[in-house]
Each structure stands twice: as structure tokens, then as C-alpha cells.
Amino acid sequence: MGVVTVDLKMLNVWVEGLIRGGRVFGVQAKNNRFQFAPLLMAANLRLDYDVTVIPPKKYMQPAREDLLTFEGAAGFETCLDQEPFILIGVHPYDVAAIAQMDAVFSGDNVDVHYMTRRKQATVVACDVQAASANVFAGCMGTATVDKGFDILLTRVGDHYVVDSRTHKGEVILGNLVKAPKADAVSLARREQVWEDNRKYLRKHELRMAPETLPTLLEASCDHPVWEEKSQRCFSCGSCNMVCPTCYCFDVRDDVRWDLKGGARVRDWDGCMLRDFATVAGGHNFRKNRADRYRHRYYRKGKYMPAKIGHISCVGCGRCISACVTKIANPVEVYNRLLEVR
């Protein structure tokens, strides 16, 4: 597994080759923002993006997916999406988020739907070239990554350092194996990119080490911040939808037009939506906005660390940008907990 340098032209040719070879999703401009979408030509790829509106989790856990099909009253059959695909341009914080989702869906009860897609995915990560308005990955230890991807691209001046770390990476490297080995200067410049990203991807400054969050939250159940902030919460769930580590889902049946069969479908769901904890019969176990609001931050900062060993916030800042009433900044919430009530 080598580390090579390629110029922009060569990179383009390589991406064109990947597109001809199969399913490729890459970051592209849409209006004046960015999104992951099917990549039809290399020229559309925007590795200089700041952040995508929706994280790449949608390729492993789509917003809507068929889990099962059924014909008649019983006879449920599993649906699996087994077509290989390549994701190009995944930022380090999103790589970290995917690693967390892997832990969730492979842990104890293996989710074969997620895992099948995940196994088919080749992740081409890319170091951040432009900081988004609300990124704070630098505070979360996710401004750079050293695992969880197959290939890492880092722009240094007018060329890219291409670092393949896995067998999957090698497979798609193709002609790039013949590219010149990265020299000491390029590697040093890459180090500099990493150092800068760790330093500057901090549009908000978390005033604590992320590892201390579970303990801080432990003592913060009655902190006024939950009531204060949630007073302006519309329970719209936008923060859930754009979050790369939110994976809660709903399951429902979709009946075909002939009413003889259909699919059991899984959709994204969100704990901030009003009826997330409502049971049949109408009792809502989390009916207060403040309780739902607190639940989200506890889940990210306390419950998920207990489950998978990581704070479930990678500092992408998407929730901050998505929230209409500007109450979803995790850094503000957590910093506020440090203040005496």
C-alpha cells in the first residue's frame, strides 16, 4: 500500500475511470451548497467543498429502504442491496461518524441491511480544504483520521497525496499505483494540512475535553439550559436528519397497488420529533420538549459513549446550520453546562 502524489489532471483521469467502472457517489455543488450525489463526470467532483447538507450515511442507511418484501399474509423475504459503490470526498469527521455507525449496526445483533451496504462501500476520504461556517471537528478529535477509509486524498499545493490503506483501496487505485511515490516534501506538507485542520476547524470552541462529557452530563439533568433552549424548539427534527451519527429509525409497511404484497420499509426517524416515544394508545413517554431536547444531548454525550465507547458528535456543525431557531449548537449547550446554574 503506497502513498503517491498525483496532479489534478491525473486525478481527473482516475475518477473518470472509476465512473466508467461502476457506481460512484461524489461531492458536488448544488445551488450554493454541496451534496453527495451520483457522480457522472469527474469535472463535477468538488473536493474543495466545505460540508455537505446531508452526510454520506445515506448510502449505508438510506432515508428510506426496503428491509423485507412480503406476498400475502406471511412469507417475509429479506432485501439486500449488494451492488458495490465508491464514495469520493468523505471528510474525516464523516469517516469517524461512519465508523461509529459500523459499531452500532455490527454490534450484538448484526444489522444485515446496513452491513451489506457497508461491505460494498469503498470510502475515498479527503482532507478538508475549506472550513464550513460551523465546523468544530478540531475540538472533537475528528479534524483528521487515520483509519476508517480505504483511500485518503490530501491536497498539497497543486497536487494530491493519495494514500491507500486497504485492499479495497488497492483494487480501485488502478493506474495510480504507477504514480510517483510521495516524497518527503509532499508528506511534510500533508502533515502541515493535518496540523492546520486540527487547529482551524474550530468555528466553535468546546471548553472541555470531549471525554469528560459523560461525567459532566451525569450531573446536569436539572440544568436550566434544557428548558431555556428548548423553548424555541419546533420539534422539526432537522438536527436529527442532518446528523451523521443519528441513526434512529421507524419501520412501516408499504402496500403495493394490487394490495397483495408490498415492502416493509425503514425510514429515518428522530428523537426530537414529538411522537418519537409515543406508544399505541397515545401515551407519550417523552412529551415535554425539554425532555426530548435533553435526550438528544444525553444520547450524544452519555448514552452512546456507554454503548460504543465514543462521543456521538463528530463536530461537523450540520445541526447548527440546519436549526431554524439556532438552538442546536452542541458546543453552546455543553459549554453552558460548565457555567454555574
**Rule CB under 8 A: is residue 109 a binding residue for another protein?**
yes
| Residue 149 grid cell | 477509509
99 SS3 class: helix
Residue 109 DSSP code: S
**Rule CB under 8 A: is residue 193 a binding residue for another protein?**
no
Alpha-carbon dihedral angle through residues 76, 261, 117, 95, given to the nearest 10 degrees? -110
Quote the CA–CA distance of 54 and 61 in Å, as a whole number: 12
The region of 48-56, 244-252, 311-319, 321-329 touching another protein under the rule CB under 8 A is 244-252
Q: Using the rule CB under 8 A, which residue among 13, 70, 129, 198 binds another protein?
A: 70
The DSSP result for 153-178, as a single string, is EEEETTEEEEEE-SHHHHHHHGGGGG
- Tell me how far, at minimum, the Cβ of 279 lies from another protein, in Å: 5
Q: Using the rule CB under 8 A, which residue among 13, 29, 53, 104 binds another protein?
A: 104
**Rule CB under 8 A: is residue 157 a binding residue for another protein?**
no
Residue 17 DSSP code: H
- Tell me how far, at minimum, the Cβ of 159 lies from another protein, in Å: 35
Which among 115, 97, 153, 144 is positioned nearest to 314, based on CA atoms? 97
**Rule CB under 8 A: is residue 77 a binding residue for another protein?**
yes
Q: Using the rule CB under 8 A, which residue among 9, 31, 32, 108 binds another protein?
A: 108
Give the neighbor-by-neighbor strand order of the sheet with 121-126: 3-7, 159-164, 151-156, 121-126, 85-90, 23-30, 33-38
**Rule CB under 8 A: is residue 81 a binding residue for another protein?**
yes
**Rule CB under 8 A: is residue 227 a binding residue for another protein?**
no
**Rule CB under 8 A: is residue 341 a binding residue for another protein?**
no
**Rule CB under 8 A: is residue 93 a binding residue for another protein?**
no
Q: By C-beta, is 195 or 267 nearer to another protein?
A: 267
263 SS3 class: strand
Burial 231-253 (b: 16+ CB within 10 A, else e): eebeebbbbbbbbbbbbebeeee
- Tell me how far, at minimum, the Cβ of 249 lies from another protein, in Å: 5
The region of 179-187, 188-196, 199-207, 261-269 touching another protein under the rule CB under 8 A is 261-269
| Residue 248 grid cell | 434512529
Q: Using the rule CB under 8 A, which residue among 50, 303, 308, 332 binds another protein?
A: 303
**Rule CB under 8 A: is residue 285 a binding residue for another protein?**
yes
Q: Which residue ranges make up the site for another protein (CB under 8 A)? A: 66-70, 72-83, 104-105, 107-113, 116, 221, 247-253, 255, 259, 261-262, 264, 269, 271, 276-283, 285-286, 291, 295, 298-299, 302-303, 306
